[in-house]
Amino acid sequence: MENTEYPLTDRDYSWLSFNNRVLLEAADPAVPVYERIKFLAIYSSNLDEFFRVRVAALRSIVDIDKEKINRKFTLPPAELLEKILKEVNRQQEEFGRIKRDRIIPELKENGIYLYRDEPVKPAHNEFVDHYFKSKVLSHLQPVMMTSATEEPYLDNRALYLMVDMEDDQGDRHFAHLNIPSDVLPRFIELPRDDQFYYYIALDDVIRENLDFIFPGYTIKDSYSIKLNRDADLNIDDEFSGNLVKKIRKQITKRNLGVPSRFLYDLRMPDYLLQYLANAFHLKEDDLVAGGRYHNMNDLFELPNPLSPSLENETLPVLRIPELDSRSVREVMEEKDMMLHFPYQTYDYVLRYFNEAAFDPDVTEIKATFYRIAPESFVSSSLITAARNGKKVTVFVEIKARFDEANNLKWAEKMESAGIKIIYSIPGLKVHAKVALITRKTEGKEKNYAYFGTGNFNEKTAEIYADEALLTTSEKLSGELSSLFDYLEDDRRVFDFSHLLISQFNITDRFGSMIENEIENARAGKEARIVLKLNNIEDPKMIRRLYDAARAGVKVELIIRAICCILPEENLTIRRIVDRYLEHSRVYYFHNGGEQKIYMGSSDWMRRNLYRRIEVVFPVEELSMRRQVIEMIDLQLQDNVKATFIDSESKNIRVQNNLPPLRSQVAFHAYLSDLHS
């Protein structure tokens, strides 16, 4: 191979480009204002997790001897951290401008008044006073900060007011005070008048009553603060001892992690900021200036008194008549089915499990769980199946970040009902989204397999755009059965010919399909690769895509979030952010006109390809291939919600003279016509 340069951008900086794309949606005047508010909330929630995990990890690396660093960086870690924080500050300023200059005025134009940094009107004083004393006061925990205070503590991600005050001798005192948004609404509705619906933040209700909380002091001012801590679980050794116990222990320590971001009100004076930095042992890089209000993911809670006005027009959830008129099993015995969420109802997945739980001929059910819904109907169905005498085996990934406690809770409930629970494999995460039902009639066994791109989670299925295949294919279900055997005993060796599974054949098979396109291009044939992924970061696969594009293969990427590859001739990159979170993975290879189409759970990141169990499945039935191709074609034509990613990882709006095409709305219309 020629010594060719393969440009890469850093994964964390690339992720900031994705979050900036979310912010662009919040700024778009064509988007209804309450949807724009939701995008502000999504942006804030995303950034919060980014600091808890990625920035925390990067800061720890900055302090490590460079000889001990395993990860490769596009820039020295300290320089990269500086670049990231600079971009975050720029985005945070833009966030404030959008909220202050666009969202708040537009709400006011529509008769919705949101108090912000202003005294309460006389007409609302009595209500605010009563609400504070009857609802808020009992939840407050004011803490005076003095030189005698030992190890002051702030809860991870919790909201606080830092109060600056003087006593009657003129001496200055500081206190911090929790904002109990974990038990009370963040936004409180006030009595309306003929002109406006009024809402006030819980923060401001407390600010209005600081004199009551701290009698005998003169309140000089108050400032919102929030501390993010390193939230990653640090399991030093997964291969010995009880992994479940180790994870439980680490979960309890999550709120004790080292600081990764101290967010403070930009108005805070230097003397108070320095006092806090000393009190909480903060470094300069930990200090991030923000606005008057933090935890803006709470904007999800802002009521809309005019609903459904000021929101997206509802796309009705679609149903499939043949699945409504017969059992899922009967339809699967006749033909394979492909499901598209959230366009089509998730009821069919629940019925897949529910029908099996009560079917007297079903003998066994197996499934993998990565992120379980808090109130999981799927888990409840499996519990029912076990109680009805079925043999049920469930692999529960207890290392799914931020879902460890909920997954453990459900694992224990299922285990107590007689379900065989297999926990995490040391050194690996099982990210596959698969299930297998075995039914025995007249002495013959038949398998009913489920392959998905998204979790068995009915809550996220309402907003994540994912696909699933229901099939009785013997070659696919047989290999899936072998995978479950591996999960129960990872010492056994299996050969997979049809499924692409990380740890076995996934990189080799993808590599050979890319090489095939390269050979076709060099032979003067049409050659094309289309990949729809959440993230692409693995340098080996990226190099292969660069090689393909440089050989004349048309490479078209649709990447939602992390994108470490950069565009060049024959290689374009799009990003789509709309009402649903694009989550499915699709792998399309032209293959000389006999297209190969795969779908599955695996992104092209090192963690997916080398440190997880992922399942990628072929789409072979003609009608289903058409559905997938239609979805991809619409996304490649999107000129409303799509952006190109340029060589600096910036989002450039797709602009052309074609009629407007919004791919998610267009795909909903396509599916509606398909089953009408």
pLDDT one-digit tens code per residue, 621-638:
999 999 999 999 999 999
**pLDDT tens digit sequence for 167-194:** 999 999 999 999 999 999 999 999 999 9
**Alpha helical stretches, state H, 417-551:** 474-488, 506-522, 539-550
Confidence of residue 492 (pLDDT cuts 50, 70, 90): confident
Question: Which tokens belong to 292?
Answer: 């008057």
> Strand order of the sheet with strand 172-178?
143-145, 172-178, 159-166, 218-229, 259-265, 287-290
- Beta-strand runs (E) in 26-68: none
Of 337, 327, 330, 359, give the one whose Cα is nearest residue 471. Answer: 337
Residue with tokens 């075995």: 438
The strand pairing partners of 394, in sequence order, are 367, 421
Q: In the prediction, which pLDDT does 239 show?
A: 47
- Spatial separation of the C-alpha atoms in residues 222 and 61, rounded to whole Å: 35
Name the CATH superfamily housing domain 500-674.
Endonuclease Chain A (3.30.870.10)
Q: What does the pLDDT read at residue 253?
A: 54
Residue (of 79, 80, 22, 71) closest to 49 by Cα position: 22
Q: Which residues contact 541 (CB under 8 A, 6 or more apart)?
A: 507, 510, 511, 604, 609
Q: What is the DSSP letter of 456?
A: S
The percentage of residues in the chain with a pLDDT greater than 90, rounded to a whole number, is 80
pLDDT for residue 157 = 82
Distance CA 136, CA 159 (A): 14
Which of 176, 340, 431, 668 does the annotation list as catalytic?
A: 431
Question: Distance (Å, rounded) from C-alpha 636 to C-alpha 631?
Answer: 9
Burial of 26: CB neighbours in 10 Å, binned 0-12, 13-18, 19+:
buried
CATH no. for 11-301: 3.30.1840.10
Indicate the pLDDT class of residue 202, thresholds 50, 70 and 90: very high
DSSP strand E in 230-333: where?
259-265, 287-290
Alpha carbon distance 533, 341 (integer Å): 16
pLDDT at 234: 55
Structure tokens at 524: 């003067």
Please state, in angstroms and rounded to a whole number, the distance separating the CA atoms of residues 613 and 429.
6
**Pairing between β-strand 612-613 and β-strand 464-471 as defined by DSSP bridges:** unpaired
Residues 97-106, mean pLDDT to the nearest whole number: 96
| Helix pair 33-50, 77-97: axis angle to 10 deg | 160
DSSP assignment string, 286-298: GEEEE-S---GGG
Among candidate residues 498, 665, 500, 650, the one with its CA nearest the CA of residue 585: 500
Would you say 427 and 502 are in contact if contact means Cβ atoms under 8 Å apart?
A: no
Task: Look up the CATH architecture of domain 337-488.
Answer: 2-Layer Sandwich (3.30)
CATH 3.30.870.10 residue ranges for the chain: 337-488, 500-674
Q: Do 430 and 368 form a contact (C-beta atoms < 8 A)?
A: yes
| Lowest-confidence pick of 216-220, 237-241, 247-251, 434-438 | 237-241
Query: What single string gives the DSSP state of each residue in 206-240?
Result: HHTTHHHHSTTSEEEEEEEEEEEE------S-SSS
The per-residue pLDDT for range 317-361, each reduced to its tens digit, is 999 999 999 999 999 999 999 999 999 999 999 999 999 999 999
What distances in angstroms separate CA 307 from CA 83, 291, 463, 578, one per listed residue?
41, 28, 19, 20
For residue 429, the surrounding DSSP H or E stretch is strand 429-430
The answer to whether the CB of 372 falls within 8 A of the CB of 402 is no
Q: Where in the chain is the domain with CATH 3.30.1840.10?
A: 11-301
Q: Are 544 and 509 in contact (CB under 8 A)?
A: no
Neighbours of 659 (CB within 10 A): 7
Q: What pLDDT, on the 0 to 100 scale, is given for residue 676? A: 78
Instruction: Please say if the pLDDT value at position 70 is more than 70.
Output: no
Q: Does residue 156 have a pLDDT over 90?
A: no
So what's the pLDDT on residue 1?
35
Model pLDDT, residue 675: 85
446 backbone dihedrals φ, ψ, rounded to 5°: -135, 135
Q: Report the Cα 395 to chain-centroid distance in Å.
A: 22
Produce one character per residue of 412-450: b if its CB has 16 or more CB atoms within 10 Å, e if not: ebbbebebebbbbbeebbbbbbbbbbbbeeeeeebbbbb
Average pLDDT over residues 638-647: 97
Query: What stretches of 445-505 show up as alpha helix (H) in DSSP?
Result: 474-488
pTM of the model: 0.92
> Exposure of 347 by Cβ count < 10 A (0-12 exposed, 13-18 middle, 19+ buried)?
middle
Exposure b/e, 169-207, CB count within 10 A at least 16 = b: eeeebbbbbbbbbeeeebbbebeeeeebbbbbbbbbbbb
> Where is average pLDDT lowest: 122-126, 152-156, 237-241, 486-490?
237-241
Q: Residue 293's Cα: distance from chain center in Å?
A: 23
Query: pLDDT band at residue 494, thresholds of 50, 70 and 90?
Result: confident
What integer pLDDT is reported at residue 659 of this predicted model? 97
Joined together, the tokens standing for residue 573 give 């990159």
pLDDT at position 3 is: 38
Is residue 583 annotated as a catalytic residue, yes or no? no
Q: How far is CA 440 from CA 364, 387, 390, 427, 447, in A?
A: 9, 18, 12, 36, 9
pLDDT average, residue stretch 286-306: 92
Each residue of 270-279: pLDDT tens digit?
Answer: 999 999 998 8
